[in-house]
Structure 1
Amino acid sequence: MAISKENYNVLSDIVGPEYISDDPVICEGYRSGPGGYENGLGYERVMTKIPGCVIMPSCTEEVQKIVKLCYRHNIPYVPYSTGFYGPRSHPHVEDALLIDLKRMNDFILDEKHFYVEVGPGMVYSPIQEECMSHGAYVVIGGGGAQASAIANLIGDGWSPLSHRIGLPHRRILGTEVVMPDGEILRMGSLAQGGDDAFWGESPGPDLRGLLRGYTGLRGCLGIVTRMAIKTLPFQPERLEPTGITPNTALALPEKRVKWINFVVPSKEAQVKAMKEIGHAEIGGAVTKVPLFWRAIAKSTCKEDFWDIWGKENEETVANFHIVRVLLIGFTSEEQMEYDERVLMDIMEEVGGVARRTKPSDESWIKNADSAGMWLMCGGYVSVDYVIETMSQAPEHGPVYADLKKKYTPPLMPDYGDPGWFQSFEMGHQGYSEFLVYWDLDDDTNAVDQFYVDTSKMNIENRFYTSLLGPHQPLYLTGPKYGPNYHEYLLKVKDEFDPKWMSHPPVPLSHDIFVDRAPWMENMKDWESPEDLEKRGYKS
C-alpha cells in the first residue's frame, strides 16, 4: 500500500518539503538502468520496483525519525547512496520508501591519527584528494571514486591497493548505525560516549561482521550514518589530473609512483612473482588483470574495442601472462629505487620482462573509470569474489572460464580468460574475481542461469565463495556452507528486523527471484524454505 498522506506529511516535517517527493517522475529516476552493473538481467526485470516515495535526510537524527515512523506504520524502506549495485541497490517491493543519503556528506580528516570520519553521502574522490593533500591515502574500490565510501566498505571495499593497505573490515573504525527498529548502535570507540571514532576494537561492541561479513547484505540490517575509515601514509608528490572527460587520468610522478607491467612465461610464474613481492614487502599493488582490459584501455569507443579484441583467440589469451605492479616511494626516492631493484631481481628469477607502461593511473588511486567496464556490451557483473591463499585463489578462474563456454553467447566471448587475481595483504591472502559481460538487447536469461550454475559448481568442487546471501539463493548455498549458514543468517535478520522492513526481502531476494522467474525453473534442484521446514529446519 502506498504511503498515506498523513505519514507523508510527518516525513515532510522531518526533512523539509523540498527533500521528499512521491512524484512518479522523480521516483522513476531512481529506477536502476539503463546499463551498468547487473543491469538488463532477469533479476532486475523481476525484482526491481520503482520506489513509492524518495526522502533525503541530512543527519542521523532525521534518519532515526524516518526509520521509527516506517517501523511503526509497516512501511518498507531501502537505504541508498550512490546506487552502484544497480538492481540490488533498489526497492524489491512495491511502494517502498527510498532513503537517499546523499545529503549526509560530512567529512572530518584526522591527519595526526590517520583516519577520516564521513557520512554515507561522501564519495571517495574528494576524500582521496584531501587525504593526499595531507600525506595519506585510502583504497578506491573497483567501482571508481564516485562510489559512497561507507557503502563500498560495507559492500566490498577492496582493490589492487589492498596488496598493502589491508582488507576492508580492518579499515572500518568507529561506526554509528541506525538499526532497523530505529535504535542507534555505536560501535568501537564511539560506544564510549564521546565523539572520538579512531578505534574499531575498543571495549565497545564490535558488530562489524553483521554489517558486511565479506561482501555485505545491502543495508538489510540497518543504516550506517557515520564511520571512521583508516588511512595510510602516502608520498608527498602531487598526482596531476590530465585529459578531457571521459578520457581522464592521473599523471604519476615517476620517481615516487610508477606502474610497471611484466610479461611472464606462465601462470605459475605470475603466482610465484606475487608471493615473492609480498615476501619482500614492496609495492602498493600487485595484480593480474583480464587481457580484454588491455583492449578496453586502448579503445576510444565500442566499435574500436571489438576491432582490437576480435584479433585475439584462445591461443593468444592462454599464452599471455601479465603481472602488473604499482611501486610507491612512500618515504623517499631512494626507497623507490630500492624497491624497483628488488622487483627487477624477482622478475629476473621468474623470467619476467618489463613492458612499456603508461605513467598514469585511470582506476585505482582516484579516478572513476567504471563506465568503461561495460563499454563493450552494456552489462557487466563480477560473478564471484574469492579470498583465499595465494596458491588457491587463482585456481577458481579456469573452472569458471570452462563453465562459461556453455553460456557464450549471450555472455561475451573472452576466449577462456580466467579473470583477475592479485595479492592481498602482502601476499598473505590471494584474491580472484571472475567477470562476465553481456548485451542488454540480447536474451539474458542464460546469464541468470550461469549465476546459479556457478553456485552449484562451487559447492561441488568445495570452493570458497564470498557471495553467500546477497547474490546467491540462500537455500541453495546455506545448507552446504557452515553447514546451515542460512539458519544463522536468518536468525540474525529476525532478531534485528523482526518485521523485515529494512530492504525486504534481502537476504532471501535471490531465492524469491528463482521461484518467480519461469526460465529459472529447470535450475532449481534444491529444497525451498517450505521443504526444509517440513523436515524440521526452522529459521
Structure 2
Amino acid sequence: MALSKDQYAAFEDIVGTKYISSDPVILDSYSWRSGLLAGMEKFTPRFEAILLPYSTKEVQAIVKLCNKYNLQFKASSTGWGVYNDAPGPGVVRLDLRRMSHILEINEKNMYAVVEPYVIGAQLQAECMKRGFICNQCGAGANCSALPIAAHQGVGHLSQSASYGERNQLALEWVTPDGEVVQFGSLGSLDEWFCGDGPGPSLRGIVRGNVVPLGGLGVYTKAATKIYHWPGPDTFPVEGISPHYAPSKIPPHFMIGFYSFPSLEQLILAVQKIGESEISYELMGFNAAMAASNMATSNEEDIRLFNEFRRMVQGPCFMIIIAGNSKNDFNYKIKVLDLIINETEGKSLEKMVEDPKVAGGCLWRWLRSTGSIRETFRASGTFGGEVGGTDVFPLMAEYINITARAKDDLIKRELVYNDDTSPFTQSFEHGHYGHGELLIRYHPNPETFRALTEEFMAQANDTAINKHFGVPAHVFGDNSHDLYGPNASNYHKWLREIKKTFDPNNTSEGSFYITDK
C-alpha cells in the first residue's frame, strides 16, 4: 500500500518537503539488508515513506498521525541490523539522523545528555577533552551513544564503564500512542541525573537486558553515565586509512594479549583482575578477532591468524591498563604480572613488541573502531550466538558449549574456519559476564538453513535445558514464546505491556513482541 496524497501531505506538513520521501530509490536504500544474519534475499519490504524528524515535537506529531491513519512506524538511529527492517506493507520509517545533538555534558555529576543520532565516537571525543569517557557500543563507534538505542549496549569499555542498561539515567520517551513521558528526575525536577522515581519506575517497562528494538515507541533524549578518563585530551593519531595509529602510546597506558591453557584458567585470571580492579578494558578476543583487528586486508588477516593460532595455547583476552599516575600504573602492572604467572597466561608478543602495532590496537579497542574488521570484512556477513548477561563463568561456559555446534559447521565447510574459541567479556570488574560466538560465512541456502535451523535450535536447547538464562538473541514472538514458559512466563507479561502501551499496534514490533 502507498500513502494517499492526503496522508503524505499531512506528514510533509510536520517535517517539511525536504525531509520526507517515497521515492523508490530512497525506499530501496533503506531496504538493503546489512550483513548481520544475512540470507539470500538482499532486500526487505519497502517502507511507505521515510521521514526525518528534527525534534521530539515532530516525532510526537508523526506518531499521532500513524495512529490516526492506522499505519505503523519504525524508528531508528544509526540503523544496524535486521531490527530496522519493515516486515511488510503499511510501515513508515523514522530516520532520527537530524536529532544529533549533545545537549549537555555535566562534569560535576558525571553524565551526558544526547539525542539518538549522536554516535559513540562523537560523544567519546567530547568527553575525553574534559577528562571523561563513555561506554562505546561494541558494534562500533559509529553506533548511537543513546544508552537505550543499542540492542544490549555492551561494549569494549564495559569493564570500567558498564553498559546500556546500567548507564541509562533520565529518559524522554514518545509512547506508541503519542504521549511524551519523562522518566525520573527529568519528569519531577527537569534534571537528568536519575532515571527512576519518585515512586514506581518505568525503567523495566521500556527495557530489560535488551531494548524493544523499535517496538515500543521512540526514545528521543537520554542521559548516560560517563566515567573518569586518565588519558590525553586527544590521541596523536597519524596515517591514512586503513593505517591509522597513534604516533606513540600515551604515558601510563599498556595493552596486552594473553592466552591460557584452559577456559578455567582464563576465568580465574578474569576473576582476579576484577577483584583487584586494575583493568580499564578487558575483552575476551580470540586469535581470529585479534588478527582481523590488526590486519588491513583479508590476505593479511589469514596470514596473521595462521601465525596467532600457532602461538596461543587456548582461550585469550586483551587487557588495557590505564594509570592515574606513574605509581598507580606500576602497581597495576605488577598485579597483572602476578595474576598472569599464577594462571599460566602466555603473552602474544607480536601484538605488543612493536609500539606502532600496539598503539594501533590500543586506539582501535578504546575507540571501538575495529568491529567492522572483526565481523564483516572476511565474508561480508556474520552471525553466531549472543549470550545473556550473568555471572562470568556461566556465560563463558554457555558460549563454550555452543562452540561445539560451530565446530560441526566448520567440519561441513559451511562457515569460515576461524576456530571455536569463545569470545567472553567481563563487566564492571567482574560483577557481570557476557559471551558471544562469532560465525562468518558466505550466504548460500544450505549455510543459512544450517545457521537458522540447526545451530540456533542447538543454542536454544542448551540455554533452556542447561539453565543458562535467556540469551540476547531472543526477540520476536517465536523466541519469546519458546523461552517464556521456562522463565516465569515473562512472555505473557511482555505481551501485556505491548498491548497496554500500544493499543493500536502502531509501533512495529516484529523484533520485540506483538499483541497476537
**TM-score, normalised with respect to structure 2:** 0.90
SS of match in other structure, 1:287? strand
Counterparts of 1:222 and 1:251, CA distance in 2: 45
CA gap 1:475/1:128 in 2 versus in 1, 3 angstroms: closer
Q: CA deviation at 1:78?
A: 0.3
User: What's the offset of the Cα at 1:19?
Assistant: 0.4
Change (3 A) 1:311 1:111: closer
Q: Deviations over 1:145-181 (max 9, x none)?
A: 1101126655211123111222321210110000000
Q: Deviations over 1:353-380 (max 9, x none)?
A: 4443213325432243332121111111
The residue correspondences of 1:277-426 to structure 2 (distance < 5 A) are: 277-309=273-305, 319-329=313-323, 331-356=324-349, 357=352, 358-360=358-360, 361-372=362-373, 373-408=375-410, 409-415=413-419, 417-426=420-429
> 1:405 & 1:118 partners in 2: Cα distance?
42
- Partner secondary structure for residue 224 of structure 1: strand
SS of residue paired to 1:126: helix
Q: Which residue of 1 aligns with 2:503?
A: 498
Say which of 430, 435, 443 aligns to 2:433: 430
Q: Distance in 2 between matches of 1:145 and 1:502?
A: 27
Query: 1-side partners of 2:112 and 2:236: how far apart?
Result: 23
Q: Which segment is superposed worse, 248-257 or 489-498? A: 248-257
- Name the SS for the 1:261 alignment partner: strand
Q: Cα deviation per residue 1:208-256 (whole Å; 9 max; x = unaligned)?
A: 2232211222021110000011101111423222331233345664423
Stretches of structure 2 lacking an aligned partner (at least 5 in a row): 353-357
Structure 2 CA distance for aligned equivalents of residues 431 and 41 of structure 1: 30
* 1:112-261 to 2 correspondences below 5 Å: 112-150=108-146, 153-194=149-190, 196-203=191-198, 206-237=201-232, 238-250=234-246, 253-261=249-257
Amino acid at match of 1:3: L
Quote the offset at 1:425 in angstroms: 1.4
Aligned mates of 1:102, 1:452 — CA distance in 2: 37
Aligned pairs, how many? 501
Distance 1:448 1:353, change over 3 A: closer
Distance across 1 between alignment mates of 2:429 and 2:408: 36
Distance in 1, Cα, partners of 2:210 & 2:492: 18
Match of 1:445 in 2: 449
Q: Deviations over 1:416-463 (max 9, x none)?
A: x23211221111222211121111356422221122332123222222
Match of 1:67 in 2: 63
The CA deviation string for residues 278-335 of structure 1, in whole angstroms up to 9 with x for no partner, is 111211122321221133134332233345546788xx59933333211111x32221
Cα distance in 1, alignment partners of residues 490 and 416 from structure 2: 33
- 8 Å CA contact retained: 1:119, 1:226: yes
Percentage of pairs with the same residue: 27
Q: 1:476 to 1:179 in 2, by over 3 A?
A: closer
Q: What's the CA shift for 1:135?
A: 0.4
Structure-to-structure mapping, 1:461-476, within 5 angstroms:
461-467=466-472, 469-470=474-475, 473-474=478-479, 476=481
* Cα distance in 1, alignment partners of residues 340 and 458 from structure 2: 38
Verify the 8 A CA contact 1:469 1:508 in the aligned structure 2. Answer: no
Normalised TM-score (structure 1): 0.87
2:487 maps to 1:482 = yes
SS in 2 for 1:364: helix
Greater shift in the superposed pair: 364-373 or 95-104: 364-373
In structure 1, the gaps of 5 or more residues are 510-537
Distance 1:41 1:283, change over 3 A: farther
CA–CA distance in structure 2, aligned partners of residues 240 and 437 of structure 1: 33
Give 1:124 deviation, angstroms. Answer: 1.0
**2:442 and 2:243 mapped to 1: Cα distance?**
23
CA distance in 1, matches of 2:502, 2:337: 54
> What is the CA–CA distance in structure 1 between the aligned matches of 2:385 and 2:426, rounded to whole Å?
19
Question: In structure 2, what is the Cα distance between the partners aligned to 1:155 and 1:321?
Answer: 26
Deviation at 1:382, TM superposition (A): 4.3
Cα 1:447/1:412, change in 2 over 3 Å:
same
Q: Which residue does 1:530 correspond to in 2?
A: none
RMSD: 2.5
